[in-house]
Structure formats: C-alpha cells, structure tokens
C-alpha cells in the first residue's frame, strides 16, 4: 500500500467514511487504564529560550541574595570570595544568554520592523553583564574602598532585581502550571484528539509540508499526549489503516513550526533559484521536503534526510537562491534541520511508546 493511498484511506477514516466513535470509548482493556497515568506524566513544557533563561533566573535570585547580604553587613574574606565566584559565574552566563537571544532574534525576525532596536537592547544588556563579570571576577580582583564596593553592590542589586521583575512573566511559570493542570485531564485530552484528528486531513492538504503551530488545538506537547491516549484507548483491534493513521498524526507534529519560523519558510519558498545559471520554477525547498510519514520510514532514512539538508542547502552553481542573503539561507537551513531532527525523534518516540503498551503488531523489525 502506497503512502498516498494511506493518506486517502486515513482521510476517509477521519471524515467518518470509515466508522469511528467520537471518543465514547469503553475501557474494557487493562492496558488502556494502566497507561493513562504514564501519559499524563509526559510532556515537554519548555522551549529553547525558556530552557536557557530559567536556570539564569535562579542564578539571578542567588546573586540578589548574596548582594543583599553584602550590603547589609560586614563579612569574612571567604564570604566575599564566594560572592565574587557566584556573581562572576552568573553574570558570565547572563552575557552569553543575552548574546544568544540577540542572535536568535535577528535570525528569526530580521524582516520585522523594530528588530534592530530589540537586538541592540539585548546586546546592551549582554555588554553590561560582561562588564560586571569582569568586575566581580575572583582571579584578577579589583581593590576599591568599602564605600565604593557598597555603592557598586547596591547598583548591581537594583539592576538584577529589575531584570528579575521584568523577566518573570515571560518565563511562563504560571502559564505552564495552568496548562499542565488543564491538559492533565483525560477528558480534555480526548477532546483535543477529536479536534486535531478531524482537522488533520484538511490541514495536510492545505499545507505543502510545514505548518504553523497555531493551527493546533492545544500546545504541541498536549497534542502528543492526546494522540497517545487515543491510541491506548482505541476500542477495537488495531488494523493497518488505524495503526498507520495514528503514526502519521503523531510524527507530523514535528513539522508544526512557531509562527515566525513558519513565515520565514514561506517567504523563502517564494525566492528565485538559479540552477546552473537557469531559473528553476520549482519550490526552492522541494528537494528538502521529508517523505510522507509512514510507519515503515526507517531511522536510516531520517539520517539521510538530515545530512541532505545539512550539506545540500548551501549556495552553489547548481542551487543558488539569488533573492536570499546568506543569513536567511542559514536560518532556513537551521529550521529545516531542527524539524528533521524532531521528525526522527518523534518516529522513535512513537515506536517505543506503542511497544511499551503492547499495541505494536505492525511495528517493523
């Protein structure tokens, strides 16, 4: 059975041409009940930037405590050595984090108005933290009068405290807690899957491959949990069409991108490409699209796709996107690499998951 036939069959399956209950499942199988707590413990609640800044926020809090202690009294030399060590480490990490954030902002949003101001602000903060890291370094110490150090400590204390207050809402702690509670209920996950699966065939036809994550009915991690729960609770024997359909739904989530990355991909797909001096009218990314998801898709094929994107998406006489500069090309290549890596990871995750619940009849050896 070809991949195109599978997509058509599963579209029929979703649209009700093949009977499918709207999640009025009877839990008459032990493994379905036992697997629900496992599913509810899963989920990736963070994104790259938040992973970077949440540890930094904890470091800021530690630096604030140490600076507050330094301001409020006299201490032994050992205390000030520890103060220097902590502050220097935290401020160095802060400088690197803000440089990374500035570069990421430029690469992702350089076409947007106001991006230069945001990037300049991040670099200014990074430079401030780099200066403070040098000032507090414990190796080549700066020797000032106590009154001078007291003033420095107060200024730095206020600076870091203000950053903490400004950054806290953006870290998403409260949002994560709300989302985690909301999407922990099995009934909510069932609603998510019904919504996602009903829209999946139409979305798959509407978008060539990459899709905006905004079309998902819930955060990606919640949709992943919903699909796992739906498969575990499927009330009938798993035949090939259902097996393949769930697999395609799950791994296709790797191709749902944040809005700014999706828009960058769409802009690039409209660029002119010269192939050996002649204009190519095809989609510039046609040769780098992943194959239609199939449970027979081997991990070796994933490796080949990743290498093809890594080494092939480079300007040459045979493939020259003349309307795109090098920074845009690098950004697009990085987005495609990330989605290809996620695609491979989701394939492995799904195979391991269905193996763990004993519903792996069609799993390839």
User: pLDDT for 73-90, tens place per residue?
Assistant: 888 888 988 999 999 999
Kindly state whether residues 24 and 60 are assigned to the same domain: no
Kindly state whether residues 170 and 187 are assigned to the same domain: no
Q: State pTM to two decimals.
A: 0.60
Distance CA 248, CA 254 (A): 11
Across 8-22, 41-55, 58-72, least confident range = 8-22
Distance CA 43, CA 221 (A): 5
Distance CA 92, CA 136 (A): 10
| Domain span holding position 189 | 3-41+183-357
Structural domain count, the chain: 2
Q: Please name every residue paired with 274 in a beta bridge, in sequence order, or none if there are none.
A: 279, 320
Residue 190 maps to a domain: yes
Residue 238 maps to a domain: yes
Average pLDDT over residues 235-248: 89
The CA-atom distances, in angstroms, between 296 and each of 10, 259, 326, 346 are: 16, 30, 36, 14
Helices within the chain (DSSP H only) = 3-15, 30-40, 48-72, 77-109, 115-135, 146-171, 173-182, 186-206, 220-232, 240-251, 259-268, 299-312, 326-357
Q: Is the pLDDT of residue 251 over 80?
A: yes
pLDDT number for residue 297: 72
pLDDT number for residue 42: 45
Q: Is the pLDDT of residue 16 over 60?
A: no
Kindly state whether residues 152 and 25 are assigned to the same domain: no
pLDDT number for residue 43: 41
pLDDT number for residue 210: 92
Kindly state whether residues 108 and 194 are assigned to the same domain: no
Kindly state whether residues 224 and 88 are assigned to the same domain: no
Residue 105 maps to a domain: yes
Kindly state whether residues 57 and 204 are assigned to the same domain: no
Kindly state whether residues 170 and 246 are assigned to the same domain: no
Kindly state whether residues 220 and 322 are assigned to the same domain: yes
Domain boundary at 157, 174, 191, which?
174
Kindly state whether residues 349 and 222 are assigned to the same domain: yes
Q: Which residue has the higher pLDDT, 112 or 14?
A: 112
Cα torsion angle, 246, 250, 252, 258, sign: positive
Across 26-30, 65-69, 231-235, least confident range = 26-30
Kindly state whether residues 9 and 134 are assigned to the same domain: no
Across the chain, mean pLDDT equals: 80
């Amino acid at each position: 059975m070809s991949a195109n036939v599978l997509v058509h069959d599963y579209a029929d399956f979703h649209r009700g041409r093949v009977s499918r209950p709207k999640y009025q499942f009877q839990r008459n199988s032990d493994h379905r009940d036992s697997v629900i707590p496992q599913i509810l413990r899963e989920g990736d609640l963070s994104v790259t930037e938040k992973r970077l800044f949440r540890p930094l926020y904890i470091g800021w809090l530690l630096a604030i405590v140490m600076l507050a202690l330094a301001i409020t009294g006299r201490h032994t030399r050992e205390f000030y050595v520890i103060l220097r060590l902590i502050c220097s480490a935290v401020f160095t990490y802060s400088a690197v984090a803000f440089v990374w954030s500035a570069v990421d902002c430029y690469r992702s949003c350089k076409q947007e108005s106001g991006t230069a101001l945001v990037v300049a602000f991040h670099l200014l903060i990074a430079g401030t933290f780099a200066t403070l890291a040098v000032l507090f370094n414990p190796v080549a110490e700066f020797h000032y009068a106590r009154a001078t150090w007291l003033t420095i400590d107060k200024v730095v204390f206020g600076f870091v405290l203000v950053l903490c207050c400004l950054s806290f809402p953006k870290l998403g702690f409260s949002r994560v807690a709300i989302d985690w509670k909301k999407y922990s209920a099995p009934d909510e996950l069932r609603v998510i899957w019904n919504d996602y699966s009903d829209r999946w065939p139409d979305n798959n036809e509407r978008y060539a491959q990459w899709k905006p994550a905004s079309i998902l009915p819930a955060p990606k991690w919640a949709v992943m949990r919903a699909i796992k729960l739906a498969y575990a609770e499927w009330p009938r024997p798993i035949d090939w069409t259902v097996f393949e359909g769930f697999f395609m739904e799950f791994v296709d989530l790797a191709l749902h991108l944040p809005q700014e990355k999706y828009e960058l991909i769409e802009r690039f797909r409209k660029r002119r490409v010269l192939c050996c001096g002649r204009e190519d009218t095809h989609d510039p990314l046609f040769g780098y699209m992943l194959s239609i998801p199939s449970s027979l898709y081997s991990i070796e094929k994933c490796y080949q796709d990743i290498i093809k994107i890594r080494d092939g998406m480079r300007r040459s006489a045979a493939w020259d996107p003349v309307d795109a500069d090098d920074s845009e090309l690098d950004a697009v290549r990085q987005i495609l690499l990330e989605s290809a890596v996620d695609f491979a990871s989701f394939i492995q995750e799904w195979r391991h998951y269905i193996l763990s619940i004993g519903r792996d009849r069609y799993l390839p050896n």
